[in-house]
Amino acid sequence: MSKLRCIIIEDEPLAVKVLADYIAQVPFLELQGTFKDAILATEYLRTHTVDLLFLDIHLPKLKGMAFLKTLTQPPAVIITTAYHQYAVEGFDLNVTDYLLKPFEFERFLIAVNKVKTEEKEVHKPQPNSEIKDYLFLNVQKKKVKILFSEMVYIESQREYIKIVTTQRTYLSKMSTHEIEAILPSNLFKRIHRSFIISVNKIESYTAEEVEVNGVSIPLGRGYRDVLENL
């Protein structure tokens, strides 16, 4: 069973501990990190894919609701707060659930089960739907069709990504986080915060690097289990 990757954005150490303990008890949840303010979380989200945010409202520097409005493609969000008056605004922002502190494990479980149910609905195969083997990317003011079978790897280039295929190389203005969200997860894996590779193009790998189509790509320390789980 695939796990939901989640992070906690919370400035109260005790609240972080409670949430982390609850997450550890749920088999389909995997805690990726904790952040004491939304600015630190924003930096993390630029280079990592997350399925679920546990978000406090009263945060230093940038409030939780304001942070939520900055996300163009937000993951599932569960608000955790002691203040009930923000519930309506939270649901207007399409949050999955709203947990009022202090909350028991049973109430927490109800909330995360909602996220799991939503994820199943999103990934449910549609009858008679065509399985695409390509995507269109913006390249120099035009849409270019790129076949999954020809893609070798994707590299972050600050505001752009470099897509290396067996035919040529493209530059597109988007983040690795954005393209990772639209690539088939069974065909492409992130192995470094700056690199996503085609699984079918892997030729060999060590604990430090992966060779794809004759090119050596660094393997990030936090991504080694990705290859082991293939």
Q: What is the pLDDT of residue 53?
A: 94
Instruction: Indicate which CATH number applies to the domain containing 158.
Output: 2.40.50.1020
In this structure, the answer to whether residues 106 and 147 fall within a common structural domain is no
Instruction: Indicate which CATH number applies to the domain containing 64.
Output: 3.40.50.2300
Kindly report, residue by residue over 23-72, the tens digit of the pLDDT.
999 999 999 999 999 999 998 988 898 999 999 988 888 888 888 888 87
Q: To the nearest whole number, what is the mean pLDDT of the chain?
A: 86
Last residue in a domain, options 56, 89, 123: 123
- Any idea which residue has 């085609």 for tokens? 198
In this structure, the answer to whether residues 18 and 114 fall within a common structural domain is yes
In this structure, the answer to whether residues 95 and 22 fall within a common structural domain is yes
Within a domain: 129: no
Torsion of CA 74, 78, 79, 82, to 10 degrees: -170
Last residue in a domain, options 62, 92, 123: 123
Alpha-carbon distance of 83 to 103, in angstroms, equals 13
In this structure, the answer to whether residues 38 and 88 fall within a common structural domain is yes
Within a domain: 159: yes
Q: What is the pLDDT of residue 90?
A: 46
Q: What is the mean pLDDT of each successive set of 10 residues along the chain, which is 230 residues long?
A: 88 95 94 94 90 90 84 86 62 75 92 81 50 84 91 91 94 87 88 93 92 93 78
In this structure, the answer to whether residues 140 and 119 fall within a common structural domain is no
In this structure, the answer to whether residues 113 and 138 fall within a common structural domain is no
Last residue in a domain, options 80, 98, 123: 123
> Which residue segment(s) compose the domain that 100 sits in?
4-123
Q: What is the pLDDT of residue 130?
A: 54
Considering only CA atoms, which of 44, 102, 51 is closest in space to residue 78?
Answer: 51
Considering only CA atoms, which of 70, 4, 31, 49 is closest in space to residue 193?
Answer: 49
Q: Give how many domains the chain has, as a whole number.
A: 2
Contact of 115 with 77, CB cutoff 8 Å: no
H helices of the chain, in order, are 13-24, 38-47, 64-70, 87-92, 105-123, 176-182, 224-228
pTM for the complete prediction?
0.52
